Amino acid sequence: MNIGEVSEAAGLPAKTIRYYEEIGLIAPLRGGNGYRRFTEAHLHKLAFIARARSLGFSIEQCRTLLALYEDRGRASADVKAVAQTHLGEIDAKMAELTEMRRVLADLVHACAGDERPDCPILTGLAAPVTGD
């Protein structure tokens, strides 16, 4: 397969696949014309990466997961550890966003949103709201 076909099949832009090759995530063959040639195994790997990425795993985590995937002697505990680390990262981001959302929603709620200049959002940013 050429890059266009795997791109379509894996749901990844061709540019991204070239980038993955550049950073050593995949190693497609080359045809006599210089075109990358992909096998089914390459496609599987790319689809694996695409799914891992869509779950938010970093490229380095994907690299680790791929290595574990291809290591028949792996311990599932090692996989689980990577996934749990990532789950923790997701939870941390969610907590951060939740807190942002809470504060921001309060400010938005307090703002009249008309043509007058008075704006609790701006005063809230100029000085944090305290309990006083």
Binding site for its own copies (CB under 8 A): 44, 47-48, 51-52, 54-56, 65, 68-69, 71-77, 79-81, 83-84, 86-87, 90-91, 93-94, 97-98, 100-101, 103-105, 107-108, 111-119, 121-122, 124-126, 128
Give the whole-angstrom CA distance, residue 17 versus residue 19. Answer: 5
Q: Out of 11, 29, 35, 123, which residue is the one contacting DNA (CB under 7 A)?
A: 35
CB 90 → its own copies: shortest distance, Å?
A: 5
**Burial environment of residue 89 by CB neighbours within 10 A (0 to 12, 13 to 18, 19 or more):** middle
Tokens of 69: 């995937």
Residue 113 binds which entry of its own copies, DNA, none, CB below 5-8 Å type-dependent: its own copies
**Burial environment of residue 23 by CB neighbours within 10 A (0 to 12, 13 to 18, 19 or more):** exposed
